[in-house]
């Protein structure tokens, strides 16, 4: 059982980012028109002035044993999808190589290759073939696929008439009945209703438990990773940041071992309004990037406004580790009003209350802008921090994705009287105090 199913050596992948061309593909005319200039540039030795090389993956090496379920995690843009695409041979690495011993099947995105004009039945065969199944295989599994997708009645309807739920169910059903030796899965669980998601998860567990099946699983769902994977790789900016036991790696990722500094001085930019400094502080006034769930968090920022700007606002957003925006706040919400329109230097502080964010990793983006007209300065993920503790351990026994996005400071009470009218009255004082 310790055979190698897949071996990745020194894998690197670069993309060229064009600074002016915007589009990756060019017209022949463009190429011809810029030919003299590019030739001149090449001769002068600075041919890269219009494009920049971006390394999506840098020197990634790992082995996967037969029968192993490997998880790959990392924030958006860490290179996870690029890695899967290379493993699946959709794109080729710039440097390095991959040795694969066995048939690879991939669930990169459900429903690829579905043709809207074809019926469900026809699409099962087409999609199956695209995913690498033979016709005989699909025939054998046809009934199983149809039953799994629950679309029996609509088999001879073109899929363009399907509801999105049916579409996704059918797509997953085909993909889930693939029988490769090495299975690559990318976030397919984020589809369908809760019931179908559960079904998918069960099916995946089934697949993973199947002896001899090697699975590589990319997900933002840390519970699923911990649950399904024996080993896990954490990718960060295209490099392997940590590898090991799934729980350890997930812990390191959520805990944020590579914390950023809680204070940051910004390099000046050419703008009429720009940030100079930002920092995070705990209630004791100490700079920190780790806060307990109960305590408030102080965000300080300094910026310069170089001329009077009508309607200028300072705002920030807090994002969770998946990159979802948790909330947004702008200085125009301040009471009493704080104006930052006049030229000058400003020091502004904002308090993010305690008992708002759930434990986890977050980042803050800062912006100076006039709403819907102009962005003067935007600092994406300028600061990052984590919330630790479990708010009085009240959430023990719950999986993190069952908690929602924020901690709601809900007040609970109990009344002895069954009468609706009076129980409402009894709580009026509580409502009043909460709204104050």
Biggest distance spanned by C-alpha atoms of the chain = 89
Q: How far is CA 94 from the centre of its chain?
A: 25
Question: Would you say 24 or 45 has its CB closer to another protein?
Answer: 24
Q: Which residues contact 247 (CB under 8 A, 6 or more apart)?
A: 226
- Part in contact with another protein (CB under 8 A); list of ranges 116-124, 219-227, 285-293, 344-352: 116-124
Beta carbon nearer to another protein, 139 or 306: 139
Stretch that binds another protein, among 72-80, 90-98, 264-272, 280-288 (CB under 8 A): 90-98
Residue closer to another protein, measured from CB, 117 or 270: 117
Check if the beta carbon of residue 71 is closer than 8 Å to that of residue 228: yes
**Which of 133/383 has CB closer to another protein?**
133
- Can residue 28 be called a binding residue for another protein (CB under 8 A)? yes
Across the beta sheet with 69-73, what order do the strands follow?
104-107, 182-186, 214-218, 69-73, 231-236, 239-245
198 makes contact with another protein (CB under 8 A): no
Q: How far apart are CA 354 and CA 374, in angstroms?
A: 32
Please state the φ and ψ torsions of residue 400, each to the nearest 5 degrees. -65, -30
Nearest to another protein of 108, 298 (CB atom): 108
Stretch that binds another protein, among 64-72, 125-133, 166-174, 316-324 (CB under 8 A): 125-133
Q: Which stretch binds another protein (CB under 8 A): 123-131, 230-238, 334-342, 423-431?
A: 123-131
DSSP H or E segment with residue 81: helix 80-87
Q: Residue 316 CB, nearest distance to another protein (Å)?
A: 35
Q: Does 10 bind another protein (CB under 8 A)?
A: no
Q: Does residue 394 bind another protein (CB under 8 A)?
A: no
In DSSP notation, 17-80 reads EESS--SSS--HHHHHHHHHHHHHHHHHT-TTTTEEEEEEEEEEEEEEETT-EEEEE-STTSSH
Closest distance of CB 129 from another protein, Å = 4
Structure tokens at 377: 């300065």
> Which residue in the set 19, 42, 48, 89 belongs to the binding site for another protein (CB under 8 A)?
89
Which residues are at the interface with another protein (CB under 8 A)? 15, 24-29, 85, 88-92, 104, 106, 108-109, 112-113, 115, 117-118, 122, 125-126, 129-135
């Amino acid at each position: 059982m310790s055979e190698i199913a897949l071996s990745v050596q020194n894998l690197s992948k670069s993309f060229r980012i064009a600074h002016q061309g915007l589009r990756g593909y060019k017209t022949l005319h463009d190429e011809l028109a810029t030919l003299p200039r590019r030739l001149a540039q090449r001769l002068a030795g600075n041919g890269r002035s219009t494009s920049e090389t971006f390394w999506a993956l840098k020197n990634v090496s790992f082995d996967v044993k037969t029968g192993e379920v490997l998880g790959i995690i990392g924030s958006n843009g860490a290179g996870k999808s690029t890695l899967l695409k290379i493993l699946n041979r959709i794109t080729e690495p710039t440097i390095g190589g991959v040795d694969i011993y066995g048939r690879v099947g991939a669930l990169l995105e459900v429903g690829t290759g579905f043709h809207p004009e074809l019926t469900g039945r026809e699409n099962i065969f087409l999609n199956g073939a695209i995913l690498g199944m033979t016709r005989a295989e699909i025939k054998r599994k046809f009934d199983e696929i149809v039953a799994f997708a629950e679309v029996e009645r609509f088999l001879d309807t073109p899929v363009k008439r399907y509801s999105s739920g049916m579409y996704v169910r059918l797509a997953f059903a085909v993909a889930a009945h693939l029988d490769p030796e090495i299975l690559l899965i990318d976030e397919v669980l984020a589809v369908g209703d809760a019931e179908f998601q559960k079904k998918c998860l069960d099916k995946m567990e089934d697949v993973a438990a199947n002896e001899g099946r090697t699975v590589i699983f990319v997900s933002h769902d840390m519970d699923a990773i911990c649950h399904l994977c024996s080993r896990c790789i954490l990718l960060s900016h295209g490099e392997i940041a940590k590898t090991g036991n799934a729980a350890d790696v997930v812990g390191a990722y959520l805990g944020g071992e590579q914390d950023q500094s809680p204070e940051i001085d910004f390099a000046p930019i050419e703008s009429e309004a720009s940030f100079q400094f930002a920092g995070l502080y705990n209630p004791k006034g100490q700079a920190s990037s780790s806060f307990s769930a109960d305590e408030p968090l102080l965000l300080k920022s300094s910026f310069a406004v170089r001329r009077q700007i009508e309607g200028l606002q300072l705002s920030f957003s807090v994002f969770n580790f998946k990159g979802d925006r948790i909330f947004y706040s702008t200085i125009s919400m301040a009471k009493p009003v704080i104006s930052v329109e006049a030229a000058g230097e400003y020091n502004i502080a904002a308090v993010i209350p305690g008992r708002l964010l759930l434990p986890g990793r977050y980042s803050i983006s800062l912006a100076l802008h006039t709403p819907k007209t102009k962005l003067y300065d935007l600092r994406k993920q300028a600061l990052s921090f984590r919330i630790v503790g479990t708010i009085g351990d009240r959430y023990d026994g719950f999986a993190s994705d069952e908690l929602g996005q924020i901690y709601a400071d809900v007040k609970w009470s109990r009344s002895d009287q069954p009468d609706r009218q009076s129980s409402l009255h009894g709580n009026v004082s509580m409502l009043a105090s909460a709204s104050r």
